[in-house]
Structures are given as C-alpha cells and as structure tokens.
Amino acid sequence: MPIEVSNLTHTYMKGTTSEVTAISGVSFRIEDGEFVGLIGATGSGKSTLIQHLNGLLRPTSGTVLVDGVDIWSKGVSLKQIRRKIGLVFQYPEQQVFEETVYDDIAFGPRNLGFSQAEVEARVEKACELVGLDKELLPRSPFELSGGQVRRVAIAGILAIQPKVLILDEPTAGLDPKGRMEILDNIKQLHETGMTVILVSHNMDDVARLCERVMVLEKGTLVFDGPAREVFTQREFLYSKQLRPPEVTLLMEKLRQRGWAVRQDVLTVEEAYAEIMKELRKKGVAGAI
C-alpha cells in the first residue's frame, strides 16, 4: 500500500496570531517494502508530518493518498487506515497504561473487535516479533526495564498487524544494547516485507539501516534520495543541524590526504574493507 503525499501544508492555529506553518508544500511517494529514514533538526516538522500519514492530523491543504485513495475523502474509514499504518510515538512508555503487559499489547486488537483467540494469537506473534519474553506478559509494565517497556509499546502497534510501521525516535534514551536490539527487530520486520519509516536523530543508525533518506528543514523537504548520497554531503548536513556518520567523515579526510578511498561509506564494515583495499594497493597490508 503505497503512500503518496502531495503538496502537503499544515498550519497550527490557523487564523490566529499564533499561527505556525509546520509543514509547507511537501510531496513524496513511499512504495511497499521501503525503509525510509526521516531526519531533521528539532522542530523541523518530522512528528507533524508522520501524524498525517495515518490520519491523526488533517492537512491544511494538500492530500495524503494511501493505496491511491485520499484518506480524507468521504467514505474512507480512518480506523481502517490506522490498522494498516501503525505509528509508534516518541517515548511510547509514557502511554503504557494497562495493568499487565498482555493487556497493553492486546489493547489495539481488542479495540478492533477480534475474538479472544485471535487477540491471543496476535499478542503472541507481536511478542515474538519484538523479542519480548512471554513470561513478562502477566507482569505490570511498570516493573520492566526501559528497553522492555519500549518493546511492549512497539508490540502493541504490531499486534494490529499494520502494513506500514512508522517509528518516532524509537531508541531515544535507551542504552546501546537496548537500542541495538530494537533496531535489529525493526530490521527483521522490514526484511519480512513491512514498509518502515524511521524518524531518528541518530545518524549512524539511519545510515546503517535506511536505503532512502528524507531531510526536513523548517517544514520543507530539502532532500529525498539515497542514504549514500545525503551522508556524503557534509556541508549540506551541517547546514541542516545534522552530521555525517564518523566513518563517512573519516573517508572524506583520508581522501583529502590523497587516499583513493570511496567516500560514500556508511558503516564500520564498509570502512574497514575500503581501507584494507587501499593499504594492500600501497603494499602496507601486502602480506595479509
């Protein structure tokens, strides 16, 4: 179910003196199975934009088409749209409220009116997908660690079995292990065919995971293209309050010192391979 956004503008408090245009004239199309990173400075409009994709916010002007249908046209059920496009908010643990982990994950499917057996099956599947130990299901979510609660919140959305998963800063505030585990889960979900949109301030994570990157600045889409292309544009990134991954910066500096290495390197593995190749050419790593 492709998502197509055309000329989307969103103005908060329109017609008042506090009027703020958060999104202005944004257009893009996301195909099935893509893994898109959405980056930009605090206040650039990322959270506002994603809330349009499942109809939580209504565009001031412009359209959002899901499967070719304008989600705000007559006869479209927004409830159906939200079943297909799941949105995990920032700090979702603040929205965990049920007495047990099970009830929290089951909230969505129950609301959709599924039978008890179906709800149970979905909760179980969602736990598997996020790597949540089933022994935690009868516990109170408030007894869990930060990483576990975050997973409960994501599982709650996955239990709705959406086709598209949008995550707003899913790893903020987590320790490195918790962060890696959640990102691995997301990667696996994408590998099973789910469309993923990841909003993040962590450039290393976006560079490693996303094929396509969109950059927002003051509500305008200023870049939409391959991750390799955007992360090699250091000056552009700095001007948008962003940074390239450290390994990409390393490659640029090596090139300035006369090394014939590729600059569009995004991970430690790629950097390692590229440096070794060059060292062999120079004869330094000849014997290896």
Q: Per rule CB under 8 A, is residue 170 in the interface with other proteins?
A: no
Q: Per rule CB under 8 A, is residue 282 in the interface with other proteins?
A: yes
Q: Distance of CA 169 to CAs 87, 120, 201, 216, 226, Å?
A: 11, 28, 7, 15, 20
Of 154, 166, 78, 91, nearest in space to 123 by CA: 154
Q: Which of 13, 176, 192, 235 binds other proteins (CB under 8 A)?
A: 176
Stretch of residues binding other proteins (CB under 8 A), selected from 8-16, 214-222, 226-234, 273-281: 273-281
Binding to other proteins (CB under 8 A) within 45-104 occurs at none
- Quote the least distance from Cβ 48 to other proteins, whole Å: 15
* Closest CB to other proteins among residues 34, 169: 169
Q: Per rule CB under 8 A, is residue 222 in the interface with other proteins?
A: no
Stretch of residues binding other proteins (CB under 8 A), selected from 10-18, 92-100, 173-181, 184-192: 173-181
* Closest CB to other proteins among residues 34, 204: 204
Residues 220/25, Cβ–Cβ less than 8 Å: yes
* Closest CB to other proteins among residues 121, 261: 261
Contact residues for other proteins, defined by CB under 8 A? 40-43, 145-147, 172-180, 201, 203-204, 238, 241-243, 245-247, 249-250, 253-254, 257, 259, 268, 271-272, 275-276, 279, 282, 284-285, 287-288
